[in-house]
Amino acid sequence: MSRKTDVLRIKKAKSFGGEISVPGDKSISHRAVMLAAISNGPCRVDGFLPSNDCLSTVGAIRALGIQVDILDEDKYGPYRLMVHGRGGKFTPPKEDIDCGISGTTMRLLSGILAGQKFISALVGDESLSQRPMQRIIEPLKLMGCEIIASGKNNSAPLTIHGADLESVRYELPIASAQVKSAIILAGLFAKGKTTVVEPLQTRDHTEKMLDFFQVKTIRTNDEISIDGGQVLESRDIIVPGDISSAAFWFVSAAAFSGSKLTVKNVGLNPSRNGILKILTRMGANVSESIDTSGNGEEIGNVSIEGVGLKGIEIDGDIVPNIIDEIPIIAVAGALAEGKTVIKDAAELRVKESDRISAVAGNLRAMGADVKETDDGMVINGGKPLVGANIDSYGDHRIAMAFSVAGLFAEGETVINNPECIAVSYPNFEVHLKELLSPNKRGLDEPITVIRSLSVEDDKN
């Protein structure tokens, strides 16, 4: 017996650059659907990211009795939704709610469900079922709901017995926007003022979007407080392009001598734009222009010119800001001259894959000099990369980071299981082809990227 699997074959790029708009921000798309659902009326969401992760949130919200209409469903074009908010009223779900591979869906939704007076069960795929959930279970239980985690080490499936919630003051043991957001959302349904203290600033999309929906959160230094019982006023939301998706092109351009790239309409929220600071420190020519501020989120254009990169040390406060970009930053480190040290990033071990080990192992397979540490890695950059067989570990950011590495490697780089890319960037391949052919010779023409089927022996 044999079975066919899809692979993405990448060859060394001859040119790179152009102008592009990346699809909608994943974090903001999740929040747009959830907050619109608890608002008091219909909300249009323009630029929603139709990726597997965000579609898990749409499915979950629909399972709770909220009508979500897809207005434009061109997967690669403008994508708009209409979410019919019911002011925080939900219908008890008839079945388990499937969160797919999406940690954001499971953790943020748990915060909302903690305050609903019914029982709901949240399930996820194999990867999500291994991810830590105690981090949300502890604070939500302190607020008065019951959560039973039936996976290993208190992981999913989760059964949530919603209840009348009491407010808490909770100091986050780890810097996590998902945990912060779960507590803030539960706080909306709690009696009194709920306060979250974060050790380091994490992305603040939940606070900004609540503010846009006329719900007040107060930030003083490292504390965020919300009064329970506030009603979200329905309104339309614009989702900016995802800077975490743009990061793959930023690094490609920065490391490609002579390239010129502009990414338009990308989210430039200061709690997410650390990648631009990192690339500037590595020597790239980066310019930003903030054009509009939609729903309180900064949006603008970023231009980057390719130069030689140099290694840097990355640790401390900036780490939560760039947590999703570290795989591609590590690729930049391998392409840079000198040493790049990444520290304080142990959280990467509990993402969709163990990203420290996945990045270090794959970079080594490509000939890079990389040493894995408990909370990061040390990369002695500048060694020539060679094409290799890359295991994506079913992790979108690993698959995309190594597609970029393949553009700089001699020979062919084969990305296995590239379908996981659809978790955050469904049209990644289309955009990659466009950026590799600045004269736009036609997207169907295979230039450097070839998607092919390989036949594997089935050993069973």
Residue that has been written with the tokens 């254009």 in this structure: 301
What distance lies between CA 292 and its chain's CA centroid?
22
Tell which one of 324, 325, 391, 395 touches ligand S3P (CB under 6 A). Answer: 324
Tell which one of 182, 299, 323, 420 touches ligand S3P (CB under 6 A). Answer: 323
Contacts (CB under 6 A) with ligand S3P, residues 344-373: 347
Comparison of 9 and 203: residue with beta carbon closer to ligand S3P = 203
Contacts (CB under 6 A) with ligand S3P, residues 178-207: 178, 181, 203
Collapse the DSSP code of 407 into the 3-class scheme (helix H, G, I; strand E, B; otherwise coil) and give the result.
coil
Number of residues that bind ligand S3P (CB under 6 A): 10
Comparison of 366 and 400: residue with beta carbon closer to ligand S3P = 400
Interface region with ligand S3P, contact rule CB under 6 A, candidates 79-87, 176-184, 192-200, 446-454: 176-184
Pairing of strands 193-197, 165-166: unpaired
Selected catalytic residue, list 25, 98, 204, 324 = 324
**In sequence order, what are the residues at sequence separation of 6 or more whose Cβ sits closer than 8 angstroms to the Cβ of residue 444?**
none
Taking CB atoms, the residue at the shortest distance from ligand S3P is 27
What distance lies between CA 257 and its chain's CA centroid?
28
Q: Is the dihedral of CA 450, 323, 59, 98 positive or negative?
A: positive
In the complex, the smallest distance separating the C-beta of residue 74 from ligand S3P, rounded to whole angstroms, is 24
In the complex, the smallest distance separating the C-beta of residue 212 from ligand S3P, rounded to whole angstroms, is 16
Residue 324 appears among annotated catalytic residues: yes
- In angstroms, the CA 146 to CA 169 distance is 18
Comparison of 98 and 347: residue with beta carbon closer to ligand S3P = 347
| 448 interacts with ligand S3P by CB under 6 A | no
| 167 interacts with ligand S3P by CB under 6 A | no
Q: How far apart are the first and last CA of the chain?
A: 8
**In whole angstroms, how far apart are CA 87 and each of 73, 81, 121?**
26, 18, 22
Comparison of 11 and 205: residue with beta carbon closer to ligand S3P = 205
Do 203 and 25 form a contact (C-beta atoms < 8 A)? no
In the complex, the smallest distance separating the C-beta of residue 28 from ligand S3P, rounded to whole angstroms, is 8
Comparison of 10 and 149: residue with beta carbon closer to ligand S3P = 149
| 177 interacts with ligand S3P by CB under 6 A | yes
- In angstroms, the CA 30 to CA 110 distance is 13
> Using omega within 30 degrees of 0 as the cis cutoff, is the peptide bond preceding 42 cis?
no
Strands of 12-67 (E only): list them. 17-21, 42-46
What distance lies between CA 367 and its chain's CA centroid?
28
Contacts (CB under 6 A) with ligand S3P, residues 47-66: none
| 209 interacts with ligand S3P by CB under 6 A | no
Tell which one of 51, 52, 57, 104 touches ligand S3P (CB under 6 A). Answer: 104
> What phi, psi does 60 have (nearest 5°)?
-65, -40
Give catalytic residues, as residue numbers.
Answer: 324
Question: Given the rule CB under 6 A, which residues bind ligand S3P?
Answer: 27, 104, 176-178, 181, 203, 323-324, 347
